Structure 1
Amino acid sequence: MPAPTHPRPHTETLANGLRVTLRHGPGLKRSAAALRVAAGSHDVPLAWPGLAHFLEHLLFLGTERFPANEGLMAYVQGHGGQVNASTRERTTDFFFELPVRAFSGGLERLSDMLAQPRLNLDDQLREREVLHAEYVAWSQDPTAQKQFALYEGLPAEHPLRGFHAGNRDSLKVELPAFQQALKDFHQRFYRTGQMTLSLTGPQNVEQLLALAEQFAAALPTGDKIAQAAPVPLAVKSYQQVDGLHGNLLFAFDALPQSSAQALAFLCHWLNSAKPGGLLAYLQQHNLAEGLKALPLYHFDGQALLHLQFNAGAEALNVIHQQLLDWLSFFSQQDWAPLREEYAAVQQRQQQIGGALQLARLDSEHLQNGLPDCAVEALKNILCELGAVDNFSPHWSLPAANPFLRANEPLTNAGLIRGQTSAHRGLRTFAQDRSRGRRERSPMQFSQALPSTADEGAIYLRWQLDAAASVDLQARLQRSLQQIRRDASEAGVELLFSATGNQWLLKLTGLQEPMPSVLEHALKCLTSVSADSPRDEPEAPLIPIRQLLKALPESCLEPVGASDDAAHLWTTARWDGLALGFNPQSQSAMGLALSRIPGQPDHQLSAPCAINGRRLWQYIDTASSEHAVLLFCPSASQNVADEAVWRLLAQLLQTPFYQRLRVELQLGYAVFSALRQVHGRVALVFGVQSPNVKPDALLEHIQQFLNGLPALIEQLDDASLSQHRQSLADQFGAAELDFKEAAELLWQARLAGHSSDYLERSVATIAALDRSTLLSAAQRLLDAEGGWLCLASARAPAVPWQAVE
């Protein structure tokens, strides 16, 4: 866990007008940058909708100094980082995270692509097709269309009612007038006065400032200009029904300063499901099962607040009345305890936040909690929403989050309290000294990661006689809903997955609240009955995401399903892994561990391998778009095979994207990556296309893979060495953050590796050479580890074998 960062980052404006925020996080393993341009889709000339989004895409296509294969995206991917961009109504954001050693190179590429875009006509024509494919998918996505329809209650002339994504018809690349508008937009807004740069990392403020000044020196200088004010929203409120959901929308035209923080505070408490609140009342009276409140839009005093309920039209008027009653109650309360808890929640989020999360937070320029200046803004908002000074007596403020309060220190911290005869296999730190052997304990308290920080991770796995039915899975997830939210606010991420007959409960984050979170979670999971409430339906996923969601279960042998939770728990067998725990926190885990249902078992069976087979599974995505996901596991689970598969994944990522997305224009969702599923390391290739069918997509993937040996042969020694070193560094203690390390060690345990897996991986990666890579490439082409293809169409002919 990063050491606590300063609650307020350093801010200043450089001599050339660039505003910077600099946050020193002494415990961070990586550095991040978030660059915000004060210009977005609503700042584009009316004649060219989509131009701002189009420019964002074009900027990633390379410059004279850094062509696409050396540009920011390729550079970040090559160093195991993260990179993305987003165009909104009035802002455009570019952000990335990198190892500290590579950070200055990322900033250099970002400044160059912002200042010196090529805007090549051929690039534009190709990228327009990518945006058009996105547009086609967007226009056919029910969730996206419902979101767009939310603005129909606003005046037709307001830009929120307009189309801003861009497509083949709106982006008239061939016209001189469009080219002039594109250059004018870039020159007008992509200059220092319109930009804010947020840097976060373990570097001190002076070092971050030097990086910011170097970044700023390459940018065009210019003063900040005022963005044109939009026309008035003109309405106060309206409502809509879109099938399963009822929507209430509230528009504001002249909000005071700090209203963004006031709206965020209000939404936080509106979304609470605790007794006495709005949602609890609606659920109790069968008016609605779910509530989601968030601001859809905020600019220059204007805002649009959206409240979504999974309720029909007949209930919406009653819900609106109860909402106004709750708002009246809320407006008359003492907000001091709520402000204190809200600030504590935000402080916890910053404490567990990585560099990228913190940099993006800083780019918003919002103070923590609800500052005094935002209190008046909140009062103004509540007044405009219709709050009055009388209300029903049944409302109450939510109970305090139990996981935000520190636990009392425990005595005799070196022992595991609550241990029973069923838990004799639990290991203490002293018992885990021998790190070279395979662990035999059902719950291992591992020393593979240091226990000196505040961070911890718990993995609990159950193997059952049958899979949970769809209905039971929904009830299990619903049982954790409130615990998951309270835990998240307290700095613990809680995830539960039921994949076939393998169930996993995972906790990561601050270790101090974890014993209590685990105890509450186990109680909820084992209390599920046939009468437990069902979860509300999830929004449909795009096809490629449906395939990714189906992948873990597709890697397991099919088993029958059961709806009897009590029987499944009775016959369950479990094992687990705990990482990062200091002796006191380890001791506090005793009571929760004594309540784990099922029987401890340190020899749970591993999923069957698919070596040598080419399996094809059809997934009905209920979409007109096509998608393919090719899963290629390593031939074995030894560390050497895993290491070479990781290096192949790093070498393939950029060329695969360049070939299938940029050159062949197959679709906008194109990726290759390394995934670990049930302990098995695999290369994964994914493509979603609006017009190319799955068998043709797979052929393109295979053609690319056939060229893999040549790609390796063409790689010069220096480049190969750089890739190898970059990959090895990603496994080193200096760069690997706790959450990533914990996941790697859990997957290593599933694969049967010893607790020195990370060190062995670094040494193995460092020894990889060209001949080893070529041999691995051939084993990949021969499908020695097997190929599993998930697709939105039925299996083609031999050699593919259809599976259900």
Structure 2
Amino acid sequence: MTESSDQSRESLVLAYGLRVRLRHEPRLRRAAAWLRVEAGSHDVDAQWPGLAHFLEHLVFLGTERFPREQGLMAFVQRHGGQVNARTSERTTDYFFELPQAVFGEGLERLCDMLARPRLAIEDQQREREVLHAEFIAWSRDAQAQHLFRLAGGVSARHPLRAFHAGNRDTLPVASPEFQQALHDFHQRYYRTGQMTLQLVGPQPLRILAGLARDADAALAAGPRRANAPVETLLGDPGEAPPASDPQRLNLLFACDSLPPGTDEALRFLELWAGSAHPGGLLAELRRLGWAQSLSLSPLYQYADQALVNFEVQLTEAGQQSRAAAQALCFDWLEYFQSHADWEPLREEYRLLRSRQSQTEGALELARRLAHGQLSELPDEAVLALRALLERFTPQSLLAPGAKALDEPPRLPPFGPWRMPPRNRFLRGQCRPTQASPRIAALEQGEHEPNRGLEGAVHLRWRLANRHHAALWHMLDASLRRLGEEARQAGVQLEFSRLGPDWQLRLCGVREPLPAILEQAVELLQRPTPESWRQASPPPRQQVPIRELLALWPEHGLGHHRPARNDSSELHPEALQRLWQQARWDGLVLGFDDADRLALDAVAARLPGSASNELLQPSILPDRATWSQVACGSDEHALLLWCPAPSLSIQDDVAWRALAQLLQAPFYQRLRTELQLGYAVFSAFRQLAGRPGLLFGVQSPGSDCAALWGHIAEFLEALPERLAQWPGTSLREQCVALADSLDGGNLGLTQRLEMQWQGRLAGHSSDYSNMLREWVGQLDGPTLVEAAHRLLDSQVSWTALATGPCPGGSWYEAV
């Protein structure tokens, strides 16, 4: 039965009860599926905390028809796609993105694993240890614990107050009662009547509808069942709230009996509360030197309830002015509430949503469908927004350590609040059109006959040295507001640094890109006044493996000591000298000759001097280097970088093939069999043009020396493993690799990164086609030889770890 339909979208309820939302987007290069099960951790019997999360893990472990090595995760990884799952309080989501040609096979595997998981006891015992490792990491993660503590003020009867992550003690696999509960939960909720499937892709609606009908037939049929009853958020908290984090100001509001439209109302308010526009709350907090960032988001939302967190990351000065900062927040909320219907912002919101729908990939569009995100703020959401703002008062605070102010402090003088202005890049504003000679240093990327609406620019400045960290942080702060505007207009703006290079990347809708670049160039040369006070590095990552990943590029280039953050250079004269000595080059993608007029006009005003002589191949180290990084965590983490011995196309392709072939076995060995931890990965990466393999493990139990031993053992066995690899499987993997390198299957960001890395390696603009040609020449003996070359190149490997150098072939970084 069809519920609603238009030329590009359709909503259906199919024969066996599966609800379906379809979206046809011809511009997409891939297709995505997002299947939501309307049941989550709060629907589990309180006797078995973590059961829903446990089941989410178990369904990925293979079925009779599709064993693990042929299951969804391995299939998606083999075809260069994305796959993941998430268990929330009241929902469990499974989602993936694949090239259109193999999308149906991925959906077939998704349905089979949800309908017919093996749930073998031996699989459960191994996977429980993985969940236990996740639990240990969660219990040690400061951000996760902060969010958990925030719920300490809600009713003691509400499931938000309970533990739901699951660990070795709460998942008694050997218990018959637990097994019965596990199977009952699966049989009750993993049924078509309890599911909604979102399909988004370039396929016509009739094709997507056919795939949906196949899914409806393949999933286990069953009616919709009632979820666990909802307890009120407000009530006796049962215990005193813990002390608040001094670096955060949390204004927490628990709301029951909210009207329809609250979901979209919260998204609307979240957007404008976090905006850094002049006259806004974040801009004022930054002007006063009190805040680094601000966010508003629901920590929990279900039915007519919401637990809303208004969080300000405070500076040291903000911590000393905490009460005044809190009063400022409520003053802004009162100002925002004073607007009758927010009509100008509703129009801006509609334009933003429209631009998002034109630029987002298949998976993000499917996520928005699953979350019911609308293209505008409807009238019922306006009413819901008024209801929310009426509850956001000092007297309604629920945040730990927060209290209503008896007498709000006198605030420092500040200008009147202003509503966010119209985004200048959303409406086809005038852009640079002055004719300018073509600049050779701004190279044109591979020609794309069907380029659609998108374009990209990658600029690089080579500095005299890498020790300008303070100036870089200052400029990064100066670009933040522009980055927000650009993102809303469909352009991602990224400012980064690597060794002596500063890089600016703009990627997205082509039409506003020259004007955004023009503003970025202005801010790089004449930063905003307040940015000179924000020249400090961002807070360190809390999860060790993430912190190592952030540090890896510099270490991979041999820079084992951080760049000096010299605040004495924070003055305009130092910035001017830096730009005078800098040289730049770049790459353009998706712009034809007519489009290049405006772009070249901006490039003519770039700071520094254009140069075609910046392509200096990275030099391999002459010994294996181990760097210990203090991450402030009890978890052990190790990253291993294995660069290819040359920049040749042959080595590039061989290392890509090794990465694809190793991904599943490495994960199987270290995560499933050895149960070292939940963060286990291997991947192909390029660093300054050089291809390589990157291995990562985080473990709560095994130290770094032991982790290295397991990785070394795996790699030593690699040549023999490849020699025994079935020829048919090898050919299938090579076909999948070739398809993943096809520009027609890659997003704009991926194509830009590939072209840029190929340029750094000295390859022509036909780089992707050259890679695909060489993939066709791969065979078993070639890959076995590549595996031996990998092991022989250990002298050039780099390790980052939370533990000390284990000795042997490793040398401690100095």
Q: TM-score range by the shorter chain?
A: over 0.9
CA contact (8 A) 1:16 1:192 kept: yes
In the TM superposition, what whole-angstrom CA distance separates every residue of 1:736-764 from its partner, at most 9, and x where no partner exists?
Answer: 23221111001000111111111111111
Q: Which residue of structure 2 lines up, in the alignment, with residue 327 of structure 1?
A: 333
* Runs of at least 5 residues in structure 1 that lack an aligned partner in the other structure: 427-440
CA distance in 2, matches of 1:236, 1:265: 31
1:151 equivalent in alignment to 2:151: yes
Matched letter for residue 453 of structure 2:
D
**Pair 236,326 (structure 1): closer, same or farther in 2 beyond 3 Å:** farther
In the TM superposition, what whole-angstrom CA distance separates every residue of 1:302-354 from its partner, at most 9, and x where no partner exists?
Answer: 00111111235664443343333322322232511101111111111121111
Matched letter for residue 693 of structure 1:
D
Q: CA deviation at 1:287?
A: 4.2
1:345 equivalent in alignment to 2:352: yes
CA distance in 1, matches of 2:468, 2:618: 22
Alignment of 1:191-270 (within 5 A): 191-234=191-234, 241-270=244-273
Q: Which residue of structure 1 lines up, in the alignment, with residue 372 of structure 2?
A: 365
Q: CA deviation at 1:213?
A: 0.8
Alignment of 1:123-162 (within 5 A): 123-162=123-162
Q: Which residue of structure 2 lines up, in the alignment, with residue 463 of structure 1?
A: 462
In the TM superposition, what whole-angstrom CA distance separates every residue of 1:523-567 from its partner, at most 9, and x where no partner exists?
Answer: 222234894434584252311111111111113354864544333
Alignment of 1:512-661 (within 5 A): 512-528=511-527, 531-534=532-535, 537-538=538-539, 540-558=541-559, 561=564, 563=569, 564-610=574-620, 613-661=623-671
CA distance in 1, matches of 2:282, 2:377: 23
CA contact (8 A) 1:484 1:494 kept: yes
TM-score by length of 2: 0.91
Q: CA deviation at 1:418?
A: 4.1
Q: CA deviation at 1:468?
A: 4.0
Question: RMSD in angstroms over aligned alpha carbons?
Answer: 2.4
Q: CA deviation at 1:711?
A: 1.8
CA contact (8 A) 1:193 1:221 kept: yes
CA distance in 2, matches of 1:450, 1:522: 29
CA contact (8 A) 1:635 1:784 kept: no
Q: Which residue of structure 2 lines up, in the alignment, with residue 309 of structure 1?
A: 312
Q: Which residue of structure 2 lines up, in the alignment, with residue 395 of structure 1?
A: 417
Q: Which residue of structure 2 lines up, in the alignment, with residue 50 of structure 1?
A: 50
Q: CA deviation at 1:50?
A: 0.5
Q: Which residue of structure 2 lines up, in the alignment, with residue 760 of structure 1?
A: 770
Q: Which residue of structure 1 lines up, in the alignment, with residue 804 of structure 2?
A: 794
Q: Which residue of structure 1 lines up, in the alignment, with residue 293 of structure 2?
A: 290
- The match for 1:417 among 435, 439, 443 is 435
Q: Which residue of structure 2 lines up, in the alignment, with residue 122 of structure 1?
A: 122
Q: CA deviation at 1:210?
A: 0.6
Alignment of 1:713-724 (within 5 A): 713-724=723-734
Matched letter for residue 778 of structure 1:
H
Q: Which residue of structure 1 lines up, in the alignment, with residue 752 of structure 2?
A: 742
Q: CA deviation at 1:289?
A: 3.9
What SS does structure 2 have at the residue aligned with 1:397? coil
Q: Which residue of structure 2 lines up, in the alignment, with residue 429 of structure 1?
A: none
Q: CA deviation at 1:626?
A: 0.9
Task: Report how many residues are paired.
Answer: 775
CA contact (8 A) 1:618 1:793 kept: yes
CA distance in 2, matches of 1:339, 1:629: 46
CA distance in 1, matches of 2:517, 2:247: 33
Q: Which residue of structure 1 lines up, in the alignment, with residue 780 of structure 2?
A: 770
**Pair 42,767 (structure 1): closer, same or farther in 2 beyond 3 Å:** same
CA distance in 2, matches of 1:214, 1:248: 47
Q: Which residue of structure 1 lines up, in the alignment, with residue 303 of structure 2?
A: 300
What SS does structure 2 have at the residue aligned with 1:290? strand
CA contact (8 A) 1:519 1:591 kept: no
Q: Which residue of structure 2 lines up, in the alignment, with residue 436 of structure 1?
A: none
CA distance in 2, matches of 1:37, 1:780: 44
Query: Which range is displaced more, 643-652 or 236-245?
Result: 236-245
CA contact (8 A) 1:248 1:308 kept: yes
Q: CA deviation at 1:498?
A: 1.7
Q: Which residue of structure 2 lines up, in the alignment, with residue 182 of structure 1?
A: 182
Alignment of 1:95-110 (within 5 A): 95-110=95-110
Alignment of 1:677-756 (within 5 A): 677-756=687-766
CA contact (8 A) 2:432 2:602 kept: no
Q: CA deviation at 1:451?
A: 6.8
What SS does structure 2 have at the residue aligned with 1:402? coil
CA distance in 1, matches of 2:675, 2:608: 51
Q: Which residue of structure 2 lines up, in the alignment, with residue 498 of structure 1?
A: 497
Query: Which range is displaced more, 279-288 or 86-95?
Result: 279-288
What SS does structure 2 have at the residue aligned with 1:635? coil
Matched letter for residue 493 of structure 1:
Q
Query: Which range is displaced more, 237-246 or 781-790?
Result: 237-246
Matched letter for residue 338 of structure 2:
Q
CA distance in 2, matches of 1:109, 1:20: 18
In the TM superposition, what whole-angstrom CA distance separates every residue of 1:145-188 from its partner, at most 9, and x where no partner exists?
Answer: 11111111112221111111100111111111111110111111
CA distance in 1, matches of 2:415, 2:779: 74
Q: CA deviation at 1:452?
A: 4.2
In the TM superposition, what whole-angstrom CA distance separates every residue of 1:421-456 from its partner, at most 9, and x where no partner exists?
Answer: xxx6x1xxxxxxxxxxxxxx3111334334742111
Q: CA deviation at 1:140?
A: 1.0
TM-score by length of 1: 0.92
Matched letter for residue 330 of structure 2:
L
What SS does structure 2 have at the residue aligned with 1:581? coil
Query: Which range is displaced more, 89-98 or 558-567?
Result: 558-567
CA distance in 2, matches of 1:794, 1:164: 35
CA contact (8 A) 1:240 1:247 kept: no
Query: Which range is displaced more, 20-29 or 575-584?
Result: 575-584
**Pair 6,397 (structure 1): closer, same or farther in 2 beyond 3 Å:** farther
* Runs of at least 5 residues in structure 2 that lack an aligned partner in the other structure: 396-410
Q: Which residue of structure 2 lines up, in the alignment, with residue 510 of structure 1?
A: 509
CA distance in 2, matches of 1:7, 1:268: 30
What SS does structure 1 have at the residue aligned with 2:616? coil
CA distance in 1, matches of 2:746, 2:502: 27
Q: Which residue of structure 1 lines up, in the alignment, with residue 277 of structure 2?
A: 274
CA distance in 2, matches of 1:287, 1:103: 49
Q: CA deviation at 1:470?
A: 4.0
In the TM superposition, what whole-angstrom CA distance separates every residue of 1:677-699 from its partner, at most 9, and x where no partner exists?
Answer: 11111011111111111121111
CA contact (8 A) 2:8 2:24 kept: no
CA contact (8 A) 2:149 2:242 kept: no
CA contact (8 A) 2:292 2:312 kept: yes
Q: CA deviation at 1:70?
A: 0.9
